[in-house]
Chain A
Amino acid sequence: MTDIATAFDQTGEAGFGDYVALLKPRVMSLVVFTALAGLVVAPAAVHPFVAFSAILFIAVGGGASGALNMWWDADIDAVMRRTAKRPVPAGRVAPQEALALGLALSGFSVIMLGLAANWFAAALLAFTIFFYAVVYTMWLKRATPQNIVIGGAAGAFPPMIGWAVATGGVSLESVLMFALIFMWTPPHFWALALFMKNDYSDAGVPMLTVTHGRRATRGHVLIYTLLLAPVALAIAATSIGGPVYLAVSLVLNAAFIRGAITIHRRDEPAAEADSYAVEKRFFRFSLIYLFLHFVALMVQGGLAAYGLGGW
């Protein structure tokens, strides 16, 4: 009986949840939120049902690139503690199945977004999937310690796609929203790499902590946090900014820079003494930082509709 059960397990009979896990639902939630923000703050009105469908197709596109990533990275995912339980390295979904699902959903999401919204937004989504699955996952991740910096662009596209759904184009505002996530990604991930101690080195991924050491990583976190602040504040000066956004952004950036300075000043013995409490707090705060920036933008947009706020 046990032998039969084992045989069944090896036939790749995955549950529905395993396929959902292939789409990286947590990353998808960030994609949904930022794409929604881009769509809401855009100056053109979109029918709510079209907006809902467009966000859904953008999320499916993001999920498809996640499945392609899991197909390609199954070997290193198996080594890292954080990712070892993913469906492909755990043996619940066959690699070819992940590839097929990723490719099918990529084509599906792009075509459906083109039909529901416009072909410019669809082309942007196609490029995002290509960037994440090919440029980041296949070319950069294993080749350079700057993988996070350049690969972060993939995660930064959703608000631009949301904006394109509404307006059919690109503008300074959507580029700045892109830049906000793009500049935010390195300090966010390097803080994670600092306390995920041996994972990346075991897998042979050239994370900055592995190639340049933890001292240099702390420096990089500070530099990128300092570069991020002017980008975040610059949005306040555009048509989607306003006093509410400016106030929120000032407070968040002050706190974020303070955290980065603390990280920069610490050394490894101090970090190990409190089991990376500061780094973990900085990582958690980075999520709140990005979330509140986009909430502030949406609130600002909502107020503008009533003739309040804005410049």
Chain B
Amino acid sequence: MSFREEHELHKRRFGRNLGLGLVLVTFVVLVFGLTVVKVTEGDPMQAFDHVARPEMTVPENAQESGQ
């Protein structure tokens, strides 16, 4: 018996790997599609990194009038 012999087990394992691969690709497509839809539909969302968030800063004149 050679080590290279194709066992039924190898087929099962390949099927499982292929299935999982397809599931992962589908997931990537889903997340990408959802992102495109949400961005183009104008859903309220913010990217919190490297972006100035005006509502977090206190307006200059408000600061002056408060003091």
Contact = CB atoms under 8 A, between A and B. Distances in A.
A47 interface: yes
Interface stretch (A12-20, A128-136, A217-225): A12-20
A16 B37 contact: no
Contacts of B1: 1
Interface in A38-61: 47, 49-50, 53, 56
A50 B37 contact: yes
Interface of B: 1, 7-9, 12-13, 15-16, 18-20, 30, 33-34, 37-38, 41
A16 B16 contact: yes
B3 to A, nearest CB: 12
7 contacts: A5-B7, A16-B18, A17-B15, A19-B16, A56-B30, A115-B34, A116-B34
Nearest to B26: A56
Contacts of B9: 8, 13
Instruction: Summarize A's interface: helix, strand, loop or mixed.
Output: helix
Nearest to A15: B12
Contact of A53 (B8, B15, B30): B30
A49 B33 contact: yes
A16 B21 CA distance: 11
A163 B9 CA distance: 44
A14 B30 CA distance: 27
Given A14-B16, A53-B30, 18 more contacts: A1-B1, A5-B7, A8-B7, A8-B9, A15-B12, A15-B16, A16-B18, A16-B20, A19-B19, A20-B19, A47-B41, A49-B33, A49-B37, A50-B34, A50-B37, A50-B38, A53-B33, A116-B34
A8 B7 CA distance: 10
Given A8-B7, A53-B30, A56-B30, A13 B37 contact: no
Instruction: Summarize B's interface: helix, strand, loop or mixed.
Output: helix
A19 B23 CA distance: 12
Interface string A2-30: 00010010000111110110000000000
Contacts of A20: 19
A85 B57 CA distance: 63
A16 B19 contact: yes
A50 B38 CA distance: 9
Contacts of B20: 16
Nearest to A56: B30
Nearest to B17: A16
A56 B20 CA distance: 16
A17 B12 CA distance: 10
Contacts of B16: 14-16, 19
Contact of A13 (B13, B30, B38): B13
B15 A16 contact: yes
B23 to A, nearest CB: 9
Contacts of A53: 30, 33-34
A47 B12 contact: no
A194 B55 CA distance: 65
Nearest to A108: B27
